[in-house]
Amino acid sequence: MASYRQLYYHIVFGTKHRKHTIPDAHCQLLYKYIWGIIENKKCKLYRINGSTDHIHLLVDIHPTIALSTFVKDIKVSTSIWLKVQPEFSQFEGWAEGFGAFTISHDSRTGVIEYIKNQKEHHKTVSLKDEYKKLLLEFGIEFNEDDLL
């Protein structure tokens, strides 16, 4: 019998010290690079977007890859790549942690729209406030001092 799964992860990670080092004018270069990493891992990217200080992904991760390994590989690969791209000369690195939230198939369209509207959303909401809201919404205990 074949193996089947449906595991949607909404992943959020930010830049080091929440610095605004991902210019809107060049973010698509980064998103395409991340998409390539995800495809090479035999995973599926449903949506990617973010703001100048963080990224949101909606992905289906291949069952042979641990979530923490998946995020680490993206962060390590993109860090190396970003530091040699002139368009991202201010980039210093990624924050240490990340958020990952599983969502249902029925929620997928809503999360895709949410990620799609990140640039507009962050004209009025900070990453810290958004991240805190996600943690509360998913019932995850956290320490305010440890937020992205």
Q: Residue 3: its pLDDT value, please?
A: 79
Domain containing 111 equals: 8-140
Q: Is 85 within a domain?
A: yes
Which has the minimum average pLDDT: 9-23, 32-46, 132-146? 132-146
Q: Residue 5: its pLDDT value, please?
A: 82
Q: Is 147 within a domain?
A: no
Phi, psi dihedral angles at 16 (to 5 degrees): -55, 130
Q: Is 29 within a domain?
A: yes
Q: Is 44 within a domain?
A: yes
**What CATH number is given to the structural domain containing 25?**
3.30.70.1290
Q: Is 61 within a domain?
A: yes
The answer, yes or no, to whether residue 43 has pLDDT greater than 90, is: yes
Domains identified in the chain, total number:
1
The residue written with tokens 């909401």 in the block is 125
Q: Residue 121: its pLDDT value, please?
A: 84
Q: Is 98 within a domain?
A: yes
C-alpha to C-alpha distance for 103 and 10, rounded to whole angstroms: 7
Q: Is 126 within a domain?
A: yes
Polymer length in residues for the chain:
148
The residue written with tokens 């990620």 in the block is 115
Q: Is 31 within a domain?
A: yes
Q: Residue 107: its pLDDT value, please?
A: 95
Average pLDDT over the chain reads 93
pLDDT in tens, 110-121: 999 999 999 888
pLDDT in tens, 51-89: 999 999 999 999 899 999 999 999 999 999 999 999 999
